[in-house]
């Protein structure tokens, strides 16, 4: 479906040269001389790269009916990660290379968001924060509550993160999934 350039808005999905992109930002520009144009910043859903394009006001773009759905991570087997659609209860399988670094933070039964186009999951988005358990690290130093010094620790998913010295095995920690960094220790 084609839409006029003056109908664009943030979050709208477009087909740009065969790639599905989401509008991150846009601005209408009316120069003193010449015709008006729209500068659009787009994020490619597959590669996560951001591109910037300029379109004249007379141009049209191809709109993509993108659905945002809730998914539950079920399990992984090898390089395949199984998700269940919370609305249709269908199982979708994504490969590790499609998920990238997200695989480090996929806990069983984790609720995630997915972008679906023509019943194919294009992208999964993790919640900003997860709570997980430390399964392996050096013993904590009693009395050291500063956050300046860190040590490596392995979490339930097998990923290694840096945590403060006072964190021990079996402690629950909150992790920022966008950066992979420790946020705080959590009591369950």
Whether 67-125 shares its CATH topology with 129-186 is answered yes
The tally of CA atoms less than 13 A away on the side-chain side of residue 124 is 27
pLDDT digits (tens, 9 = 90+) for 126-182: 999 999 999 998 886 666 555 568 889 999 988 999 988 888 888 999 999 988 899
Closest CA to 122 of 83, 89, 159: 83
DSSP 8-state symbol, 57: T
Strands (E), the chain: 2-4, 13-16, 19-29, 37-44, 50-56, 60-63, 67-77, 80-85, 91-95, 111-117, 120-125, 129-137, 150-155, 160-164, 172-176, 181-186
**pLDDT tops 90 at residue 66:** no
Q: Are 166 and 140 in contact (CB under 8 A)?
A: yes
pLDDT digits (tens, 9 = 90+) for 18-46: 888 888 999 988 888 888 888 999 988 88
Q: Are 166 and 144 in contact (CB under 8 A)?
A: yes
Domain 129-186, CATH class in plain words: mainly beta
Q: What topology does CATH give the domain 67-125? A: OB fold (Dihydrolipoamide Acetyltransferase, E2P) (2.40.50)
Burial class of residue 41, CB neighbours in 10 A (0-12, 13-18, 19+):
middle
Alpha helices in 42-162 (DSSP H): 96-99
Domain ranges in the chain are 2-63, 67-125, 129-186
Q: CA–CA separation, 15 vs 160, rounded Å?
A: 37
Tokens of 186: 């959590």
pLDDT digits (tens, 9 = 90+) for 2-17: 888 888 888 888 888 8
pTM: 0.74
pLDDT digits (tens, 9 = 90+) for 80-136: 999 999 988 999 999 888 888 888 899 999 999 988 888 888 888 899 999 999 999
Q: CA–CA separation, 32 vs 97, rounded Å?
A: 47
Q: What topology does CATH give the domain 2-63? A: SH3 type barrels. (2.30.30)
């Amino acid at each position: 479906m084609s839409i006029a350039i003056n109908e664009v808005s943030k979050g709208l999905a477009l087909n740009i040269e065969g790639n599905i992109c989401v509008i991150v930002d846009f601005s209408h520009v009316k120069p003193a001389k010449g015709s008006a144009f729209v500068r659009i910043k787009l994020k490619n859903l597959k590669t996560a790269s951001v591109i910037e394009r300029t379109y004249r006001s007379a141009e049209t773009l191809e709109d993509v009916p993108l659905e945002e759905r809730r998914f539950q991570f079920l399990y992984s087997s090898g390089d395949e990660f199984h998700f269940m659609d919370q609305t249709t209860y269908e199982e979708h399988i994504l490969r590790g290379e499609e998920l990238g670094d997200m695989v480090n933070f996929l806990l069983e039964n984790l609720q995630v968001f997915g972008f679906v186009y023509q019943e194919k999951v294009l992208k999964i988005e993790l919640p900003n924060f997860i709570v997980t358990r430390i399964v392996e690290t050096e013993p904590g130093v009693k009395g050291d509550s500063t956050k300046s010094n860190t040590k490596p620790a392995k979490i339930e998913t097998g990923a290694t993160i840096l945590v403060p010295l006072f964190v021990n095995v079996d402690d629950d920690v909150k992790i920022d999934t966008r950066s992979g960094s420790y946020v705080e220790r959590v009591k369950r």
